[in-house]
A = this chain, B = another copy of it.
């Protein structure tokens, strides 16, 4: 069984803070700083340009991808890292449209993270007037998947409510209609077991700075089903995805397999930090992680509902359809979150009234949750949040 006291000790967590916002930005793994120092002082400084070979920087994006594969149930050789999640969404949507050249509609939902919608729409609107991004309410998605739909792009776990789609069932539904599936795993990878391979999903993307603790702006990842990847003609045909980048051909020849999803020169310092963060997962059993995540979420929901009836749970009550976060609606939620932060309980707020708390088992335990419940209850009981300093908007995350 995974020992979560061991994983907790692997993170730097500030004194007096209960960090329930690892679903937005994970904390720093203690080994990250030494790795960054090593990359900068021993590789960049000393090896200079030679580090691309001698320190094997060139293969780092794939090496990091390999570490993500088991976390999302992906086959070997299917995950590439780089760029940002926005860019990876763009790559996936473009590739999906190539696989269904006779179809012009991409379906998504209003619960999707905005950048996914923006990037898809940005692409479609530049491909011509016949292309359409059809955005419906989450409960309407199933009803609109038909044989005109090229691809369905959904975020597995809703970033606000934590509501989770049944990935296997939905993917089957998409396939029955001949549509391609694109899953955004930003709130899934590292939060719960994902089995992308068993679902048969064509594409998945995700970010690594949330539950994977890769640091602010850490590179994103993309999964392409292995039987399809060599059918993809990359729209972002960067030189690092070329079959032989250092031939400096005038013509692009896509690299073998997932290599073609590389674009430009990867951010080596940031990617090395991410690799360090991913090493923590070597000792983690994802079923144990999920069991503990559910325990923590249930503990929080029960505690808050018992003590703070003014907060309305907007996450699903059933753990079966909930990710690793819990959200409550409250009119003065913004001020409450500010007051909580002042007391060391850090969650975040999403307009108009969503108070969001992430439960990341690698470093949050039952004692943290018990304390957090006490503090939330106290802030609400004492109405500490009505202080003008807590009402002031301006915080953006």
Contacts and interface: CB of A to CB of B under 8 A. Distances in A.
Interface of A: 12, 14, 17, 19, 21, 24-25, 27-28, 32-33, 36-37, 40-41, 44-46, 48-53, 57-58, 83-87, 90, 94, 110, 113-115, 117-119, 121-123, 125-128, 135, 207, 209, 215-220, 233-240, 242, 245-252, 263-271, 273, 341, 346, 348, 350-351, 394-397
Contacts of A217: 265-271
Nearest to A135: B250
A248 B341 contact: no
Given A83-B84, A250-B117, A50 B397 contact: yes
Given A24-B49, A27-B45, A36-B36, A114 B249 contact: yes
A216 B119 contact: no
A90 B122 CA distance: 13
Contacts of A113: 239
B21 A48 contact: yes
Contacts of A126: 94, 127, 235
21 contacts: A12-B41, A36-B269, A40-B273, A44-B216, A51-B216, A53-B394, A84-B238, A84-B264, A86-B236, A86-B239, A86-B263, A87-B87, A87-B263, A115-B240, A115-B264, A117-B251, A122-B235, A127-B127, A217-B268, A217-B271, A246-B351
Contacts of A236: 86-87, 90, 119, 122
Nearest to A271: B217
Contacts of A251: 117
Nearest to A61: B217
B209 A53 contact: no
B248 A350 contact: yes
Contact of A341 (B12, B50, B234): B50
**How many chain copies does the complex carry?**
2
A85 B219 contact: no
A46 B14 contact: yes
Contacts of A348: 49
B122 A85 contact: no
A85 B45 contact: no
Nearest to A247: B351
Contacts of A123: 235
Contacts of A48: 14, 17, 19, 21, 25, 27, 346
A252 B121 contact: yes
Contact of A122 (B127, B234, B396): B234
Given A12-B45, A50-B346, A265-B85, A57 B216 contact: yes
A264 to B, nearest CB: 3
Contacts of A209: 265
B267 A397 contact: no
Contacts of A351: 246-248
Contacts of A233: 125
Contact of A28 (B40, B94, B125): B40
